[in-house]
Amino acid sequence: MRAPAESGVVRTAAWDPHDPRAAAQAAAGRRRQAWRIYGLFGTLLLAAIVGAPLVGSTPLDLRAVLDRTRPFADNLDAQIFFIARLPRVLAAGLVGATLAVAGVVMQALLRNPLATPFTLGVSSGSALGAMLALTFLPTWTGGALTSVPLASLAGALGAVAIVYALAQVRHRGFSTDVLLLAGVTLNAFFSALILLVQYLSDFTETMRTMRWLMGDLDVAGYRPLVIAMGLLLPAAVAFAWLPRSLNALALGAEQAGSRGVPVLGVQRLAFFAASLATGVAVSLAGPIGFVGIIVPHLVRLLVGADHRIVMPASALFGAAFLMACDALARLVLSPVELPVGVVTAVVGAPFFLWLLIRKT
Amino acid sequence: MLLVFVGACRPREDARATAEAATAGPRVVSLVPAVTEMLFAVGAGPQVVGVSSYDKHPAEVATRPRVGALLDPDLERILSLKPDLVVTYGSQTALHEQLARANIATFTYRHGGIGDTLETFEAVATRVGRGDAGRAAAQVLRAQLTGIRMRVEGQPRPRTLLVFGREPGSIRHVWASGGVGFLHELLDVAGADNVFGDVARENIQATSELLLARAPEVIVELRAETRVAESPSPWLALPGVPAVRQGRVLALTGDQMVVPGPRLGQAAEALARALHPDAFAHQPK
């Protein structure tokens, strides 16, 4: 066993927190580092935004896409680009960023590196809602909203309410342990109900519900995106406010409290914001796994644990990552598509493991 | 408790009733709705002593005990019906072994195209001692299909999308027939070209991009049951698709559209009538 001083963390020992000049230098260094990371991930995202709509099962002529002289109704390239691909790529970006940030917040809130946006039962509640709608609800359209996304959002919010109530009962505060256990149990319970619903449904419905569970970004229009963005707004505001408090929370609730952080309020806000964000993302695109755990860890491996950097960086990288995965899903077996959830896991897991081994 | 007791007894009584009705030939349990229909069509209905959870046709199946289906065959109940022959799916290997141990013969159903349906028709009829009736019924079905083919001959063949499932109220998760299987072949008989005819799969998830790119001139939606009409039509989200622009999105209802059995002729005719109303204009329905 080597002594801690020899294990490569010598630099921190040399830093004196009471030296204002050194502190200022370190802060400036961190800022530069942060901007480099934003630059890197921003470039990746830009590449994804530009590149992803250009690939697909149909070869597109970009000049035809942008040709304003032809009426849109007769311009197949433009229709494919603007009706099918662009909304889809934007959905991937929105869902990727949302799940990645929700993952960061859940991991900080539960102080558990294995936490994901789906840990507290939000996604399985959402899935149960969708399954019930797909299996039992007759066709129902309420203007802009259709039964399945609506039921899935309702399921997500229902799950959030149950978990929250459980974490509150018998605890005057907000027990993250109870939260975690309740979430995991609720996940199992909802999964059992989902299986039951599938078992009771017809063959064709079973296929549809299975497909829903694999995640799908083909939203075919901008309306679902606009609705989702509207619903995500409160969560986004909360996410913007949270990073500093989450940093304090990472030291433990007591430490954070002694530094003047309103621990209970922060925990509640983090819980509701991450849950709402997850619920909206899942109702838009189904439970796309792996983004919410792999992206935060990957980003942390690159930029450290400061939530002020991790959260925006995760949003950028999450968006780029899911856009890229969706592009792959569209291309590999074209014209047949792979479920994007399968791609995120198959691509993400080995990459993550490689990074993990390389870093340690 | 009482309900369980009643539930357990009921099928056996039914079984006895059907057993008495059975005149001759083996007692059959069918886990495959298409084959159940075939058995009834060749007059072997009284021999059918058990059917799957999904059997709906003919109406008499309602009186037969249900013994599960592809994923959940109830071996105990099947054995209790004392069948001589069980019609199963090819993938039910565990069930095959169990039935073999109980010395019960199996007839393995092979899902495929119209040709497979015709072969199955003759083969299963022969197995229950009604080979002649089976050959005759297959011949009738063949003649029906040929008749429809001839009726629509010379008509323009629209590029058609055959949808058999999608998310209610939207055009997400559209499942359509690929270039393999009886639905694809039915479309061909009914005088249309499948837009996914080149995809060597039985079904394909048609994304909005594929729908736009393949540009079907007609969209036919198959539904097992009547649904509430959707208003406005979710297909309007893709106004560039010729079928949508020209208002040629058709819905066909009825489980004959999804069961590759003796009613394939009816299914093909319904499809042909929907696609080519002119070809049937001067004929009584």
Segments making up each domain of chain B, as ranges: 2-147, 157-276
State the pLDDT at residue A16. 60
3-state secondary structure of B250: strand
State the pLDDT at residue A359. 63
Chain A CB contacts of B207 below 8 Å = 57, 84, 218, 220, 330, 337
Chain A CB contacts of B166 below 8 Å = 208
Helix, strand, coil content of chain B in percent (nearest 5): 45, 15, 40
State the pLDDT at residue B22. 46
Q: Does B200 touch chain A (CB under 8 A)?
A: no
Cβ distance of B209 and A137 shorter than 8 Å? no
Q: What pairs with residue B203 in β-bridges?
A: B177
Please give, rounded to a whole number of angstroms, the shortest distance from the CA of A130 to a CA of chain B: 10
Please give, rounded to a whole number of angstroms, the shortest distance from the CA of A180 to a CA of chain B: 33
A194: nearest Cα among A209, A205, A182: A209
In this structure, which long-range contacts are made by residues A56-63, counting pairs with CB atoms below 8 Å and at least 24 apart in sequence? A56/A80, A56/A84, A56/A85, A56/A327, A56/A330, A56/A331, A56/A334, A56/B209, A57/A330, A57/A331, A57/A334, A57/A335, A57/A337, A57/B207, A57/B209, A57/B210, A57/B213, A58/B209, A58/B210, A58/B212, A58/B213
State the pLDDT at residue B125. 94
Chain B CB contacts of A203 below 8 Å = 54, 70
Count other C-beta atoms under 10 Å from residue A345's C-beta. Answer: 17
**Residue A228 class from Cβ within 10 Å (0-12 exposed, 13-18 middle, 19+ buried)?**
buried
CA distance A212 to A285: 8
Nearest residue in chain A measured CA to CA from B204: A336
B147: nearest Cα among B278, B266, B11: B266
Best mutation target among A135, A218, A283, A326 (most B Cβ atoms within 10 Å) is: A218
CATH code for B2-147?
3.40.50.1980
Conformation bin of residue B173: beta by default, left when phi > 0, alpha when psi is -120 to 50: left
Record the tokens describing residue B69, joined without a space: 């289906």
Please give, rounded to a whole number of angstroms, the shortest distance from the CA of A89 to a CA of chain B: 12
Domain that holds residue A297: 46-359
State the pLDDT at residue B8. 43
Establish if A333 belongs to a structural domain: yes
Chain B CB contacts of A147 below 8 Å = 168-169
Query: In B, residues 54-83, which contact A (CB 8 Å cutoff)?
Result: 54, 70-72
Establish if A22 belongs to a structural domain: no
> Phi and psi for A349 in degrees, rounded to 5?
-60, -50
Establish if A176 belongs to a structural domain: yes
Q: Does B236 touch chain A (CB under 8 A)?
A: no
Buried b (16+ CB within 10 A) or exposed e, A297-317: bbbbebbeebbebbbbbbbbb
Count other C-beta atoms under 10 Å from residue B137's C-beta. Answer: 20
State the pLDDT at residue A7. 45
State the pLDDT at residue B123. 94
Establish if A69 belongs to a structural domain: yes
Establish if A24 belongs to a structural domain: no
Establish if A60 belongs to a structural domain: yes
State the pLDDT at residue A360. 59
Cβ distance of B173 and A336 shorter than 8 Å? no
The reply to whether domains B2-147 and B157-276 share a CATH topology is yes
Q: Which architecture does CATH list for B157-276?
A: 3-Layer(aba) Sandwich (3.40)
Cβ distance of A216 and B208 shorter than 8 Å? no
Nearest residue in chain B measured CA to CA from A73: B240
Chain A CB contacts of B70 below 8 Å = 203
Establish if A27 belongs to a structural domain: no
Domain count, chain A: 1
Q: Which amino acid is at A235?
A: A
**DSSP, res B18:** H
CA distance A317 to A37: 10
Establish if A33 belongs to a structural domain: no
DSSP E strands in chain B: the ranges are: 28-30, 48-51, 85-89, 105-109, 159-165, 174-177, 193-194, 203-206, 218-223, 249-253
Q: Does B245 touch chain A (CB under 8 A)?
A: yes
3-state secondary structure of B58: coil
Show the low-confidence residues of chain B (pLDDT under 70): 1-23, 224-229, 282-285
Query: Would you say A327 and A52 are in contact if contact means Cβ atoms under 8 Å apart?
Result: yes
For chain A, the C-alpha Rg in angstroms (whole number) is 22
Cβ distance of B168 and A146 shorter than 8 Å? yes
Total-model pTM: 0.82
CATH of the domain at A300: 1.10.3470.10
Record the tokens describing residue A85, joined without a space: 């691909």
Q: Look-up: residue for tokens 């054995």?
A: B79
Show the low-confidence residues of chain A (pLDDT under 50): 1-13
What's the angle, vertex CA B53, arms to CA B48 and CA B59, rounded to 5? 55
